[in-house]
Amino acid sequence: MGAPLPITVLCDWEKIRQHNSKSSHISKKIHTAQGSTNASLVMFSDASKDHYATCAYLRFECQDNTTQVQLLFSKTRIKPMNNEHLTIPRMELLGVLTAVNAASTILTEVNITLSSITFFLRQHRGTQLGSTQKFIRQMADIASRGATLQQIKESNLWQHGPEFLLQDQAHWPKSLEQSPEDPKEFHFFTLDTSAPPFPPHRGLPSEYPPHQYESIVPYDNTNSLVKLTTIVQKVMRWIHIVVRKRNERYTQSPYLWQSQTLKTFALARMSKNEVQQRIVAHKYIIQDHYADSKSQLNIEIPKSQQIQKTEDGLYLYHNTYVNKQHLNMPKSLIYIIHKHRLARLIALDSHKSLLHQGPKDMATDIQQKYWIKRITSLTRSVRKGCITCKRRHGLPYTYPFATSLPTVRTQSCRPFQHIGLDYFGPIGYKTETGQTGKLWSMLTTCLVTRAVHIEVVPDNTTASFLLAMRRFIGRRGSPKTIISDNAPAFTLGYTMINADINTLINSSQTLTIFTLELESNTAT
């Protein structure tokens, strides 16, 4: 005898028993239809959260241009009990595997020549379903989600399959073998729709939008203009690749370069000229820093006859006096705004290329190509912040003027014979039981060797101080001189120690010739 059913599932069991109490006869046709010219096998598979199933249909094409479809085989399996983490996509794969195994068995056992075998499975639940997919969903739900005998007998969909099987194969759902490679076109292919017309390209705006200008150049992410040029070059290369692939896809409405900078960069990419690509990226950084200074720093290029704008968008500085005094200098220099981050990047690159030379050498090197106001202050700031220069040219530390040291710090003696002590804290702690508390530490240092000894003190009482001194003396020996502040615990402790020493001396006949009192110096 088996165990009785739980009360929670008893109601469901009664419903199932009532639905299946009546006997039903369902005919299954497995012989060739009369007058058929072609026979094929159609397999459907689907899965739910707890079940996966497959069903097979025989499709006969007759001489009178009619088609007959009849259910041949169906199989439903429960989710494996040894794997509770199977997702619905994995369950659908199990359904496909069952359909393939069933088709192989049918092909071997049925004595009917089959011209083709077609497999159908439902699309992923995140996509929109077409009309044929709805038929597949309804039919597959019967196998994977269950139905009563009466529903199966009366269901024409289950007995004869979806309506599209009676039509020509040209009206069947499209096969993935014919799907396009482009992701967007594949999306419209699965939905059985056409892509909307692409809007006409009207070109890019030639001027900046009215809102505040935002630079795309990451000036603060690097400390080198060379690295910044490499980053901008990679960004331009990515833009060129994206636009080229887009134009290859939509040849009727290509994007045209409106920016002269990107047009020049595209020509350099086509000719595989890496040097020209870096030159274009470098010029774009300089052009961008003008607009970024105006937007972020509210600094514009000063109006002067010595500063002129070129066709490339760069501002050149002309100084006749400098050219007369220094014949080797160029006739025009690129004007750089001194408060912008780009000026510091130029100075940093010059400082590294000159192997950490001084500010004057840096200024001379920068002025071979750029003109930056207050360049001396800039080069000094770069030199001052350079870690390598600090290590190479840093002067030794000059000790402040000090008076003569006391005698206790200059005479030869054992460690911790002359000491200084003080408390530091409080320090919070937490016990294993969760209780919290505070404690202090007595820091003792030798005045001659600068050695340090630390003792833990639970509170600021004189008793705790005397116990800490007892542990210190037991480890380091008795000191002769103690320097500390005039805390009440210290002053009272010294008095008690000296009183005990005097009592010991007076009561002993052998220690009367020695003076063993501690010499304590307290300061406010």
Q: Give per-10-residue mean pLDDT for the chain (524 aa).
A: 71 73 60 75 86 88 86 86 82 90 89 86 52 60 68 78 82 73 76 70 52 86 93 94 90 86 92 93 94 91 89 85 60 91 95 92 92 93 92 78 76 86 88 86 89 90 89 88 86 84 71 57 62
Q: What is the pLDDT of residue 23?
A: 59
Q: What is the pLDDT of residue 128?
A: 40
The residues facing 76 across adjacent strands are 53
Contacts of 150 (CB under 8 A, 6+ apart): 19, 22, 24
Place of tokens 């096969």: 175
Q: What is the pLDDT of residue 524?
A: 54
- Residues 38 and 394: their CA atoms lie apart, in Å, by 96
What order of strands is seen across the sheet that includes strand 117-121? Answer: 67-78, 51-62, 36-47, 117-121
- Residues 180 and 173: their CA atoms lie apart, in Å, by 15
Cα 435 vs. chain centroid, distance in angstroms?
40
Q: What is the pLDDT of residue 324?
A: 57
CB 355 within 8 A of CB 389: no
| Rg, Å, the chain Cα set | 46
Q: Which helix (H) or strand (E) holds 268?
A: helix 260-270
Q: What is the pLDDT of residue 276?
A: 94
Structure tokens at 459: 């509170």
Place of tokens 């003076």: 515
Beta strands in 435-495 (DSSP E): 436-446, 452-457, 481-485
Give the Cβ contact number of residue 61 at 10 Å.
19
Distance set, CA 506 to CA 312, 415, 501, 517 (Å): 102, 29, 9, 13
- Residues 34 and 194: their CA atoms lie apart, in Å, by 41
Q: What is the pLDDT of residue 127?
A: 43
Q: What is the pLDDT of residue 140?
A: 60
Structure tokens at 199: 């809007």
SS3 143: helix
- Residues 475 and 248: their CA atoms lie apart, in Å, by 86
- Residues 246 and 243: their CA atoms lie apart, in Å, by 5
Q: What is the pLDDT of residue 126?
A: 41
CB 389 within 8 A of CB 365: no
The residues facing 444 across adjacent strands are 421, 453
Contacts of 145 (CB under 8 A, 6+ apart): 48, 51
CB 348 within 8 A of CB 223: yes
Burial of 108 (0-12, 13-18, 19+ CB in 10 A): exposed
pTM for the full model?
0.43
